[in-house]
Amino acid sequence: MAQYVGYANVRAWKEHTCLTCGTEFRYRIERSRTFRTTNPEAAQPGAHNLALKAIAEHSEQRPCPHCGLYQPEMIGAKRRTKYLWLLVFTVAWAILFTILCEAHAFQYDALCWLAMLAGVINFLVQYIAVSGNANRDMARNRKAAKNLIDEERLELVEAGSGPILKSVPLSVAGMGTAWVFLIVALAVFPLAEVKRRVSGWSYNENWYPPVAGPGDVSRYYFKQKVESMRGYWRGVASVKPVNVEKLGLGEHDQFFAATKSELWSNRIWTEAVEDYVLTTIYIDVSFPQGQKLDGTTVDLRLQVDGDAPMVHSRTTYDVVRFKSADDISIKLSAPNAGKQYEAHWWGGIMLGFFLQFIAALTLFHKASAQLKGLPTRIDPIEETPDSA
Ligand SMILES: [Zn+2]
């Protein structure tokens, strides 16, 4: 079906009545909009209506020429834009942060402190966004209005008789809950680290999660990396406790190891490209159940024997074999401490982000709803219709 695009540029006088002194003043405002439809008759009027709607909803930043007040809708529009950006940044940061976590790009403890630091910055930015007050110095605003009149960007229609104030404070009513949410978010981000310190669990660098106890599974990354097509690799993993006698482990106290077992051989021909990715080799170690290992340091010999594809052309590929091995110690904590640490970690982070999101949403809504001025009048000046 044919698409018709209407375009309209509308110019109008927008007249405000000042909220404090009752002065009527006006300025020229211009908005253009396009409108897409399948009906050729509706294209241009549609665009015209959209442009008129934009003029009704938007205001220019023009202080009252008599008392200097920037009207609530002018401040509201500015504030709402600020809060919309804060809302967008809050969501984008939460997504980026989750990706960093999933990729094990940083240690767990570093990440929760990072979330907290970002929370402090978020709080300060929100606070500054609210406390900026365009009506703090009304004498300065009157001077600005005089300049705008000289530049023919503002006109006094009829002076009012209301009071001329020195300064008008900004309304922050109803925003208290948002501040409380932002502060509580700071406290819940490091929940896992608080729980770990209170419970006396040991922290093991380079393990994900860094806390492990009997019955837990934790991942260790070898220093060695392998380069392969699309980052494909697979391996067979093994784990051997070296100080088994000292630990007094029996036959039933088995450690298990697992690693990636990707079935890439079937896919390789359809995806054959010279697309090499460097990947870190990892091993997932399961610790045996039971109280016995609580608080002990286990020396482990970890090994992965693997292979990875290297494609040379559409018809040939090599399989590169590799072997990663490390001797590493891990200090175990109470049974299932790792699962609890991880649950607290994600719980704290997600709750923190949720609170930040709700706070930003609340502030946005307040800015939209609270700052409404007196009704305005719109007188269109001329039109330049154009449709294609
Ligand atoms: Zn005024």
Asked whether residue 185 is domain-assigned, the answer is: yes
* Shared-domain flag, residues 14 and 43: yes
CA of 24 to the centre of ligand 1 (A): 8
> Six-digit token pair at 222?
């070898």
Return per-residue pLDDT of the chain as tens, 388 residues.
788 999 999 999 999 999 999 999 999 999 999 999 999 999 999 999 999 999 998 899 999 999 999 999 898 888 888 888 888 999 999 999 999 888 888 889 999 899 999 999 988 888 887 777 899 999 999 999 999 999 999 999 999 998 899 998 887 777 888 889 999 999 999 999 999 999 999 999 989 999 999 999 999 999 888 888 878 899 999 999 988 777 777 777 889 999 998 877 666 665 556 677 888 999 999 999 877 888 899 999 999 999 888 766 666 677 889 999 999 999 999 999 999 999 999 999 999 999 999 998 988 888 777 677 789 999 988 655 554 4
Single out the residue of 212, 121, 186 nearest to residue 349, CA to CA: 186
What pLDDT does residue 388 have? 45
Q: Give the bridge partners for 31, in sequence order.
A: 10
Asked whether residue 207 is domain-assigned, the answer is: no
CA of 84 to the centre of ligand 1 (A): 28
CA of 362 to the centre of ligand 1 (A): 30
Total count of domains within the chain? 3
Asked whether residue 261 is domain-assigned, the answer is: yes
* Shared-domain flag, residues 84 and 193: yes
| Locus of tokens 């006088």 | 13
What pLDDT does residue 315 have? 63
* Shared-domain flag, residues 23 and 102: no
What pLDDT does residue 101 have? 87
CA of 52 to the centre of ligand 1 (A): 25
CA of 65 to the centre of ligand 1 (A): 7
CA of 148 to the centre of ligand 1 (A): 15
CA of 155 to the centre of ligand 1 (A): 13
Report how far residue 239's alpha carbon sits from residue 234's, in angstroms, rounded to the nearest whole number: 17
Asked whether residue 1 is domain-assigned, the answer is: yes
Asked whether residue 155 is domain-assigned, the answer is: no
CA of 160 to the centre of ligand 1 (A): 7
Asked whether residue 162 is domain-assigned, the answer is: no
Asked whether residue 88 is domain-assigned, the answer is: yes
Q: How many C-alpha atoms does 260 have within 13 Å on its Cβ side?
A: 17
* Shared-domain flag, residues 361 and 388: no
Report how far residue 35's alpha carbon sits from residue 31's, in angstroms, rounded to the nearest whole number: 13
Report how far residue 223's alpha carbon sits from residue 238's, in angstroms, rounded to the nearest whole number: 17
How crowded is residue 210: how many other Cβ atoms within 10 Å of its Cβ?
22
CA of 26 to the centre of ligand 1 (A): 12
* Shared-domain flag, residues 195 and 115: yes
* Shared-domain flag, residues 195 and 308: no
Asked whether residue 85 is domain-assigned, the answer is: yes
CA of 304 to the centre of ligand 1 (A): 76
* Shared-domain flag, residues 196 and 76: yes
Q: Is the pTM value of this prediction over 0.75?
A: yes
CA of 366 to the centre of ligand 1 (A): 24
* Shared-domain flag, residues 243 and 361: no
What pLDDT does residue 118 have? 92
* Shared-domain flag, residues 180 and 328: no
* Shared-domain flag, residues 181 and 192: yes
What pLDDT does residue 266 have? 64
Q: 290: which DSSP letter?
A: S
* Shared-domain flag, residues 45 and 16: yes
What pLDDT does residue 263 have? 76
What pLDDT does residue 373 have? 79
CA of 16 to the centre of ligand 1 (A): 10
- Ligand 1 being an ion, which residues bring their Cβ within 5 A of it? 18, 21, 23, 64, 66-67, 69
* Shared-domain flag, residues 322 and 345: no
Domain containing residue 341: 72-132+170-201+337-372
Is 212 in contact with 330 (CB distance < 8 Å)?
yes
What pLDDT does residue 247 have? 76
